Amino acid sequence: DNFFDVAIFNNVLYSLESSTVEHCLKEVFRVLCIGGEVRISEPHKNANASKVLREIKRELIKNRHFEEVQIHYQKVREINELSLAQMLNKWSIEDMEAILLKVGFSEITFKLDKTYARQSFLICAKK
């Protein structure tokens, strides 16, 4: 209880069953120090993983790195499009804000709705 200053969730919550997300965030709240912060980055409700992957490919080509990682890029693309895509699209930033406040966080300290090629959000909340 009340031990950690920060908890960071980068593309974690969407992989959980929807029914366990509140319990998970209650546990995060419990272990954070007073004034501690949770930072969450997740795909937003209307996310399209293909758009993110196209942006990554564009950057790799622009920086002349695509050829050296092309095989790995293809594997990541297949995993995202065939497996992970079914888990996405759970929350808007407003949905996540409501969940964080419901489980006890006192304030939202930062939120940005259009990260990762405009397909994800970033939200931070203080205990």
Tens digit of pLDDT for each residue in 28-76?
Answer: 999 999 999 999 999 988 888 888 899 999 999 999 999 999 999 999 9
Mean pLDDT score, 85-114: 92
Question: In the numeric block, which tokens belong to residue 117?
Answer: 């090629």
Calculate mean pLDDT across residues 92-114: 96
Nearest to 91 by CA among 26, 18, 27, 6: 18
Confidence at residue 56, expressed as pLDDT on a 0 to 100 scale: 93
Helix 93-102 with 21-31: angle, nearest 10 deg? 60
pTM for the whole structure = 0.85
Of the ranges 44-58, 82-96, 104-118, the best mean pLDDT one: 104-118
> In angstroms, what CA-CA distances link 27 with 4, 38, 75, 103, 117?
12, 11, 34, 9, 31
Task: Give percent above pLDDT 70 in the chain.
Answer: 100
